[in-house]
Amino acid sequence: MLEDLKRRVYEANLLLPKYNLVTFTWGNVSEIDREAGIFAIKPSGVDYDKLTPEDMVLVDLKGNKVEGKYNPSSDTATHVELYKAFTKIGGIVHTHSSWATSWAQAGRNIPCYGTTHADYFYGEIPCARCLRGAEFNEYERNTGILITDMFKERDYEAVPAVLCKNHGPFTWGKDGDEAVHNAVVLEEIAKMAFRCEEMNPHLSQAPQDLQDKHYFRKHGENAYYGQEKCPENIK
């Protein structure tokens, strides 16, 4: 069932160790088939070098396992909440990558200090508060709800990432591959932002005009970065 989806998610998960975003089994990728209302996700606690496409677990949007010999990732309930609220996304990544997680553990948003950040994220990367009290009774589900509540007044497509205080980052995209891509970029800008503050403690965020220029040249109807598709009449 949904063999192509499981294969894509398997391949996307293998990108996490390739790009040094995970240690041991500290991360997961999922991707959803919106028509079927089912997503595939990494099984919980299985080493990356032992994974196969068949090991990916299929889950519905009520959090029920549909298919798979393993239990799904312990973060599955968070993925469910994000897919339900962020209806235009197709893939989600969670890691404990060291630089982004350092900002999360510090409870800080990542400011936009330059064009690398602005090319991918429109404004700072927000850090959600830590869960409290009874919220820990449904920890993973409430983590997802906390994230989606933060984005009620934010554009989740323009800022496809969040930090969870004392925890780590989540990123998303149109599919699993794009979500991984955003996770790689997030880790790099987290590293650069830390270094910038070390070198200049009085640093200000990049000018808004510069942020606008770099974000909108890659995103939106007037974007012009990259190559347009070649017209059919041109060989």
Instruction: Please check whether residue 223 lies inside any domain of the structure.
Output: no
pLDDT at 229: 54
Weakest mean pLDDT among 12-16, 62-66, 225-229: 225-229
pLDDT at 235 over 50: no
Residue 231 belongs to some domain of the structure: no
pLDDT at 38 over 90: yes
pLDDT of residue 59: 98
Which residues are known catalytic residues?
Answer: 119, 225
Beta-strand pair 91-95/127-128: unpaired
pTM (2 d.p.)? 0.94
Q: Which residues pair with 27 in a beta bridge?
A: 95
CB 90 within 8 A of CB 174: yes
Is 34 a member of any domain?
Answer: yes
- The C-alpha atoms of residue 72 and residue 42 are separated, in whole angstroms, by 6
The residue count of the chain comes to: 235
Q: What is the DSSP string of 30-95?
A: EEEETTTTEEEEPBTT--GGG--GGGPEEEETTS-EEE-SS-B-TTHHHHHHHHHH-TT--EEEEE
Residue 15 lies in domain: 3-216
Mean pLDDT of 69-95: 98
Indicate the Cα dihedral angle 22, 23, 24, 29, nearest 10°: -10
In-domain check, residue 73: yes
- Which pLDDT score, from 0 to 100, does residue 233 have? 42
Residue 110: enclosing H or E segment and its boundaries? none
231 pLDDT above the threshold of 70 = no
Assigned domain for 57 exists:
yes
pLDDT at residue 84, as a whole number: 98
Residue 56 within any structural domain of the chain: yes
> Could you tell me if residue 233 is inside a domain?
no
Mapping DSSP to helix (H, G, I), strand (E, B) and coil, where does residue 194 land?
helix
Supply the pLDDT for residue 25: 94
Domain with residue 63: its CATH number is 3.40.225.10
- The C-alpha atoms of residue 15 and residue 18 are separated, in whole angstroms, by 5
User: Per the domain annotation, does 226 fall within a domain?
Assistant: no
- For 189, half-sphere exposure in the C-beta direction (CA atoms, 13 angstrom radius) is 26
